[in-house]
Chain A
Amino acid sequence: MRLTQGAFSFLPDLTDEQIKKQVEYCISRGWSVNIEWTDDPHPRNVYWELWGLPLFDIKDPAAVMFELAECRKANTTGYIKMNAFDASIGTESCVSSFIVQRPSYEPGFYLSRQEVKGRMLAYTINSYSTQGKPAGERY
């Protein structure tokens, strides 16, 4: 399966040139960019690992691209995404997010159904990547 979280997952994986243009766009809007990585892409895993702090007050996209390269070196096989934050009043939240690295094999998720009351089912989604494997051994 292909994990389709993020703004551009239905397009071919972004090249570094394309990623840099998105970073430029974010910086031009006054947003700060941060990099996050994970080996558990569960749709409700909202806290991927931070690659350092969000890059506040960075004017040159090269600084972001450098950190991306460093993050890739440390995480050669997992998922990496870039987020942009807008601190302005009324938003104060993430305003862009897109995947910039994914594993070559994406096993996806298992949907477990538990019959509960009447016809109602209790659903649970599990990441295959995490099944029985501790962090660091999943991809």
Chain B
Amino acid sequence: MSQSVSERTRIKSERYESGVIPYAKMGYWDATYTVKTTDVLALFRITPQPGVDPVEATAAVAGESSTATWTVVWTDLLTACDVYRAKAYRVDPVPNTPDQFFGYVAYECDLFEEGSLANITASIIGNVFGFKAVKALRLEDMRIPFAYLKTFQGPATGVVVERERMDKFGRPMLGATVKPKLGLSGKNYGRVVFEGLKGGLDFLKDDENINSQPFMRWRERFLYCQEGIQRAMAATGEVKGSYMNITAGTMEDIYERAEYAKDLGAVVVMIDLVMGYTAIQSTAIWARKSDMLLHLHRAGNSTYARQKNHGINFRVICKWMRMAGVDHIHAGTVVGKLEGDPLMVQGFYSTLLSVKSEVNLPKGQFFAQDWASLRKCMPVASGGIHCGQMHQLLNYLGDDVILQFGGGTIGHPDGIQAGATANRVALEAMVIARNEGRDYVAEGAEILQEAAKMCGPLQTALDLWKGISFNYTSTDTADFAETPTANV
């Protein structure tokens, strides 16, 4: 026995000899892999470093987002490592983009803790996004398996129950954000809420950065807003609400604000995406228990969702937030001031509202998804829209949406009530025209003019915002052209 004990027991298998071997060879690439119905699937847009093979880059992404580290470790052999390794199983070139590839990765469901977005995201968007072998990386879409979805609460209330609670059927709902965003006192703030609701809106809304600042502490805002809401309800006979932003620095503060809103009789509260996935899930569970609608403002998303080559596609955020349990999420307007290609936005809406959806490459939906009876999440269209675009909004966004006209209500020269009324009349006129079978998209301007004959505020609004549009090219666009459907 000349060898030492460490030499004698050294691992002989080529796969597990110490050292660095390519990820694809480590078992993170399997072109013949058969996807299981229980697998979590992810599609990444990968820009490999020059000289890195796309298959190896995809395998590396699979490895780094599951079990791998940079070198071989013998402790793998103490685990069912073949099961836990994510499998990259397909790589496609991105159409018309030579240096980018779509890499498909399958993950065993048991890699993720039940009902925890924080856990699944720590893997899927964890270290891997800083990985040097890829120049850029974007998570484009995910398929969440039925079994895993069932471990999430989903929207606290959902579109159907929200409509029943609010008594609003057969038309998009209407909202507005109180402006100016910052600086109003509580009493003046509540005035805007009252005027907007009395004029015909269903909801007013706090802005994302209104929490509890020196110019208006949160209790002042909540008390005066509730007075405005109740007055408007009595004046119109409709159920109305105003999203009270309960976002705060700690969970304790969030719960305190939430309970206070509930005690006041509020029907809806709001939170911001920046407060984090765990805080969002906690608030959603509170909202379900408290019969409260939960609005989510997507503050912060554009820092990682907008650029096409790196980050997270917003449709994945939509998926995660539907799982996390919010009832509303800002999901784009198509025609407003914020980023949003029509096909991409329709993909987001489909992600939020579908019971089941199929693969739809032009809309960026790379996987079929069964939503496992998670409730529907209401998309919110907000940012630079006005009543003159009503036909386009109805056409692109459909009935299940909250159209939020902030400037388009409060900026009306005849006052906030007049602005709200203009929006409501424009909406009802467009919905009734559509239902009557008119070609409302082509005749939109005409339909609005007809409605304005019996509504002065609408005429004023149409004249004021005539021709206002935000025609910039979107950065996040479809990679696949829409295939014309054959006429049968």
B residues within 8 A CB of A130?
Answer: none
Q: Using CB atoms, name the residue of chain B closest to A22.
A: B435
Interface string of B382-411 (1 = CB under 8 A from A): 000000000000000000000000000000
Which residue of A4, A11, A94, A98 contacts B163 across the interface (Cβ within 8 Å)? Answer: A94
Work out how many contacts link A and B, with CB atoms closer than 8 A: 105
Beta-carbon contact of B167 and A46 below 8 Å: yes
B428: which A residues are within 8 A, CB to CB? Answer: 7-11
CA distance A84 to B399 in the complex (A): 14
A120 interface hit (Cβ, 8 Å): yes
Q: Fill in one digit per residue for A81-103: 1 if any B CB lies within 8 Å of its CB, else 0.
A: 00110000111111111100000
- State the majority secondary structure of interface residues on B: helix
Is B230 a contact partner of A5 (Cβ separation < 8 A)?
Answer: no
Given A12-B454, A120-B264: A93 and B163 interface contact (C-beta under 8 Å): yes
Indicate if the CB atoms of A97 and B425 lie closer than 8 Å.
Answer: no
Q: Tell me which residues across on chain B come within 8 A of A92, comparing CB atoms.
A: 160
Please give me the residue from chain B that is nearest to A20 by CB atom.
B436
Which residues from chain A contact B238 at a C-beta distance below 8 Å?
4-5, 43
Q: Tell me which residues across on chain A come within 8 A of B264, comparing CB atoms.
A: 120
- The answer to whether residues A43 and B355 also contact, given A120-B223, A120-B264, A125-B234 and a CB cut-off of 8 A, is no
In-complex Cβ contact of B237 among A22, A42, A119 (8 A): A42
Q: What's the minimum C-beta distance from B430 to chain A, rounded to whole angstroms?
A: 11
B114 interface contact, C-beta 8 A: no
Given contacts A10-B428, A83-B169, A89-B355, contact A25 B435 (CB under 8 A): yes
Interface stretch of the complex, out of A51-59, A64-72, A105-113, A131-139: A105-113
Task: Return chain B residues, CB-CB under 8 Å to A10.
Answer: 200, 421, 424-425, 428, 455
Whole-angstrom CA separation of A110 from B376 in the bound complex? 35
Would you call A1 and B235 a contact (CB within 8 A)?
yes
Please determine whether A21 and B226 come into contact, CB atoms closer than 8 angstroms. no
Q: Contact: A3 with B236, CB < 8 Å?
A: yes
Chain A residue total in the interface (Cβ 8 A): 41
Taken together as a complex, chains A and B put the C-alpha atoms of A95 and B398 apart, in Å, by: 13
Chain A residues positioned under 8 Å from B265 (CB to CB): 122-123
Q: Does B125 contact A (CB under 8 A)?
A: no
Q: Please tell me if the beta carbons of B230 and A111 are within 8 angstroms of each other in the complex.
A: yes
In the bound complex, do residue A123 and residue B226 qualify as a contact, i.e. CB atoms below 8 Å apart?
A: yes
B484 within 8 A of A: no
Contact B435 A94, beta carbon cutoff 8 Å: no
Asked whether A41 is an interface residue with its Cβ less than 8 Å from the other chain, the reply is yes
Report which of A98, A111, A119 forms a contact with B170, defined as CB distance below 8 A. Answer: A98
Given contacts A18-B436, A120-B223, A123-B265, contact A90 B231 (CB under 8 A): no
Nearest residue (CB) in B for A92 is B160
> CB-nearest residue of chain A relative to B354?
A90
Number of residues in B with C-beta < 8 Å to the partner?
39
B421 surroundings in chain A (CB, below 8 A): 10
Smallest distance from the beta carbon of A81 to chain B beta carbons, Å? 10
**A26: min CB distance to chain B, Å:** 8
What per-residue 1/0 map shows which CB atoms of B346-385 lie under 8 Å from chain A? Answer: 0000000001000000000000000000001000000000
* CA distance in complex: A3, B234 (Å): 10
- Interface flag for A50 (CB, 8 Å): no
Contacts of B51 in A (CB 8 A): none
Answer yes or no: A73 CB below 8 A from chain B CBs.
no
> Nearest Cβ distance between residue B199 and chain A, in whole angstroms?
10
Is B171 located at the chain interface by the 8 A CB criterion? yes
**Nearest CB on B from A1, distance (A):** 6
Q: B432 — which chain A residues lie within 8 A by C-beta? A: 7-8, 11, 18, 22
Task: Determine if A7 and B237 form an interchain contact, defined as CB atoms under 8 angstroms apart.
Answer: no
- A7 & B454 in contact (Cβ 8 Å cutoff): no
Interface of chain A residues 1 through 38 with chain B (CB within 8 A) = 1, 3-5, 7-12, 18, 21-22, 25
Query: Which chain A residue lies CB-closest to B454?
Result: A12
B227 within 8 A of A: yes
Judging by beta carbons under 8 Å apart, are B234 and A84 in contact?
no
B170 (CB) vs chain A CBs: closest residue: A96
B-to-A contact residues, CB < 8 Å? 160, 163-164, 167, 169-171, 200, 219, 223, 226-227, 230-231, 233-239, 263-265, 355, 376, 421, 424-425, 428-429, 431-432, 435-437, 451, 454-455
Could you give 25 example pairs across A and B, Cβ below 8 Å? A1-B235, A1-B236, A7-B169, A7-B171, A10-B421, A11-B425, A22-B432, A25-B436, A43-B238, A84-B169, A90-B160, A90-B355, A93-B160, A95-B169, A108-B235, A108-B237, A109-B237, A110-B234, A111-B234, A119-B219, A120-B264, A121-B223, A121-B226, A123-B226, A125-B234
Given contacts A5-B238, A93-B163, A123-B230, 11 further A-B pairs with CB under 8 A are: A3-B237, A4-B200, A4-B236, A11-B425, A11-B432, A21-B437, A83-B169, A108-B237, A111-B234, A123-B226, A123-B265
A interface, CB within 8 angstroms of B: 1, 3-5, 7-12, 18, 21-22, 25, 41-44, 46, 83-84, 89-98, 108-111, 119-123, 125
